[in-house]
A and B are shown apart, each in its own frame.
Chain A
Amino acid sequence: MDRSERLGRSKVGRLINAYGLPRLIITAFLLLLFILAPVAGADFATQISNVIARFSWNAVLVLAMVPMIHSGCGLNFGIQLGILAGLLGGTLSIELGFTGFPCFLMAILISTPFALLFGGGYGVLLNRIKGGEMMVATYVGFSSVSFMCMLWLFLPYKNPNIVMAYTGEGLKQTIPLNNFYAGVLSDLWKIDLNSIGVNLVIPTGAILFFALLALGMWAFLHTKTGTAMTAVGSNPTFAKASGVNIDRSRTLSVMLSTWLGAVGILVYQQGFGFAQAYTAPLNMALPAVSAILIGGASVNKASISNVIIGTFLFQGLVTMTPTVMNSALNVGDMSEVIRVIVSQGMILYALTRKTEGSK
């Protein structure tokens, strides 16, 4: 307490407080990596392309965190529910025989009812346990993923492209999407500077798609329903007094978050080129959570700019550290260690900040 007060007095200290010390350290580290990259022999343009590509895969998943933070439900550690809805939508769309862009659209369309259903149930559950959302969310995510593990084995998928080769039943662990919706957004209006000798590729379509969703989210938060949602998060008593139905607002935010999770995983899959079933979704919540926190969000405050900055910093860290570390210092797994420490440290920092106020 004392130290932060002393820091706050000086001008630099105020700036640091506004930006957040951890975020400052991460930004400085990333800048250092960018400077070191050419020294270490890594091509600068390639690095930028990688970061942008990974940004376009992950940004929607991070965006999915926003509604629940706004309505006071905390960080959505249970985003796996949305991911499962997305997986269901994607695989069913393939099963029905769609290919190319229609396949992607159908995947979103089919996953929507699942996402709303899962999100609705999840929202009602979270309303009954206000104050303890995050821990329950974590385990709701885990148990639903492990439950779906059993279902993937039994659901009567028939399409030979997605079922296990030798038995002919049960979904594959990893489904290659190159005949379906791989790259449908990333390759749309792609800017490729390789023709003039620079290895810079910008997946315009995917970034525009994210921009569209982010704009929609921003607009939604400024509608009457959206403002009510924010009010529920920042001051439930006040919201109740002004006649807002708290439980309804919260459920709506959870459904929105789950749906964005479903769309987010489909965007991720089209960029990555593979759909991963079974236990793969288990660990997809923590990177998204730490990304938005690195972007400057807290347990009960988040904005679209937090999403953009956070995804960029986090993905920058993920892609830059291995290349720079490997070529400069020749220590292989060090980058993994740094990534874990930074991202989990960020979540810990957010959880333990006193200003958050314990509920």
Chain B
Amino acid sequence: MTNKKSFGQKALGLLRGNTVPLMFIVICGICIYLSGFSWSYLLNQVITRMGRNVFLMLSLLIPIMAGMGLNFGMTLGAMAGEIALILVADWQIWGIPGVVLAMLLSIPLSVLMGLMCGKLMNLARGREMITGYILNYFVGGLYQFVVLFMMGSVIPITHSTLKLPRGYGIRTTTDLSNMRQCLDNQWAITVGGVKIPLLTFAIIALLCLFIVWFRRTKLGQDMRAVGQDMEVARDAGIKVERTRIISIVISTVFAGFGMIIYCQNIGNFPTYTAHTQIGMFCIAALLVGGASVERASIGNVFLGVILFHTMFIVAPKAGQSLTASPQIGEYFRVFVSYGVITLALIMYEAKKRRAKSGTGALLAQAQKAQKEEGGARA
């Protein structure tokens, strides 16, 4: 009897802990049915998007470990990646060497931006997420300044195919067709009509291994300690500020790599808008996978990318077949992305507050007990 009950409780706990993914499985199921896409088409699309997005999403994990919440500042890394891609495209280094060079080039830029982001977040402790979020817009302005005005006039850009007709500034779309899917096509195998980009997956696997290994290093342990409780970590002799900055720098560098992988898959990128939504979609996808603001695992990334992008593919078609308006599905998927982030943030903040008032109550109780004891002694 007790055994059965505990099993029921366990199942209920499992249900409650995974409300968001379960909800999404239901939504996706309904949408797939309504859209009428074939399974092989869906599988193909999901695998493509997996190769495209997983690296970017993995970059979010380390700041979560360090207790800094969802790193909305990952967009900074994406911008560093884009600048590197523009330069490599101008130097006409294509294919895999181009991708590797772009990654190398993006590192110093990402490190610089990560340092700035980390420093600012240390100043705005307790408000890291909103700071990162506003920082996106701020650095977006700087990015626009560099790409639209400095490139071609101060930073040498030789090829006119990249430049605006006025002689400086980059065109609104940067063409990477000579680099398109060079990673994805290397070692690609086709199983039953579904293309599997093995090299991209191998790179992703490497990053996963790195994250697993990193958690066990001294630095990784420090980060977890800082994430648990900053003051305790400081008393234990951990340099809290430095640890937090490092976690953001690592995240920014990986986001830069991720953006390069993302762009080589698509084969071009809108120069001024490619990075604006990337952070939001990655974060939403991670949360759909069952992560929260304070805990996320590699499993969440993979589940999230599958569920979120399935919804992304099928929602417009499903909406169209339901209401004869393609717009509705478009709005629906944007609403879901925003909604899931909102929900996760509310849950996180409410929990944080409850924990705080919980410790407060405990403290009050202890003090009361102490007082009574003192009174009794007197």
Which of A's residues lie within 8 Å of B, judged by CB? 77, 125, 128-132, 134-136, 138-140, 142-143, 146-147, 149-150, 153, 170, 286, 331, 333-334, 336-337, 340-341, 344-345, 347-348, 351-354, 358-359
Contact = CB atoms under 8 A, between A and B. Distances in A.
Interface in B303-357: 325, 327-328, 331-332, 334-335, 338-339, 341-342, 345-346, 348-350, 352-353
Contact of B325 (A139, A153, A352): A153
Contacts of A77: 130
A352 B131 contact: yes
Interface residues of B, number: 39
A348 B131 contact: yes
Contacts of A345: 138
Report whether over half of chain B's contact residues are helix, strand or loop; otherwise say mixed.
helix
A207 B215 CA distance: 59
Given A136-B345, A340-B137, A340-B140, A149 B335 contact: yes
A119 to B, nearest CB: 17
A125 B349 CA distance: 11
Contact of B346 (A129, A142, A353, A354): A129
B27 interface: no
B342 A331 contact: no
Contacts of A354: 123
A331 B345 CA distance: 41
Contacts of A153: 325, 327-328, 331
B141 A340 contact: yes
Contact of B130 (A128, A135, A353, A358): A135
Interface stretch (B143-151, B174-182, B362-370): B143-151
A165 to B, nearest CB: 15
B124 interface: yes
B339 A143 contact: yes
Interface of B: 120, 123-127, 129-131, 133-135, 137-138, 140-142, 144-145, 148-149, 325, 327-328, 331-332, 334-335, 338-339, 341-342, 345-346, 348-350, 352-353
Contacts of A138: 130, 133
Report whether over half of chain A's contact residues are helix, strand or loop; otherwise say mixed.
helix
A150 B346 contact: no
B130 A140 contact: no
Question: Which of A128, A130, A136, A170 gathers the greatest number of chain B CB atoms within 10 Å?
Answer: A136
Contacts of B123: 352-354
Contacts of A341: 138, 141-142, 145
B331 A136 contact: no
A334 B149 contact: yes
A227 B314 CA distance: 53
Contacts of B149: 331, 334, 337
Contacts of B335: 143, 146-147, 149-150
9 contacts: A128-B346, A135-B345, A136-B342, A149-B334, A153-B331, A170-B325, A333-B148, A352-B131, A359-B126
Contact of B127 (A146, A150, A351): A351
Given A128-B346, A142-B342, 6 more contacts: A129-B353, A132-B348, A333-B144, A340-B140, A351-B130, A352-B120
B349 A351 contact: no
B150 to A, nearest CB: 11
Contacts of A132: 345, 348-349, 352-353
A139 B341 contact: yes
B353 A136 contact: no
A358 B126 CA distance: 6
Contacts of B328: 150, 153
B261 to A, nearest CB: 27
A337 B339 contact: no
A128 B353 contact: yes
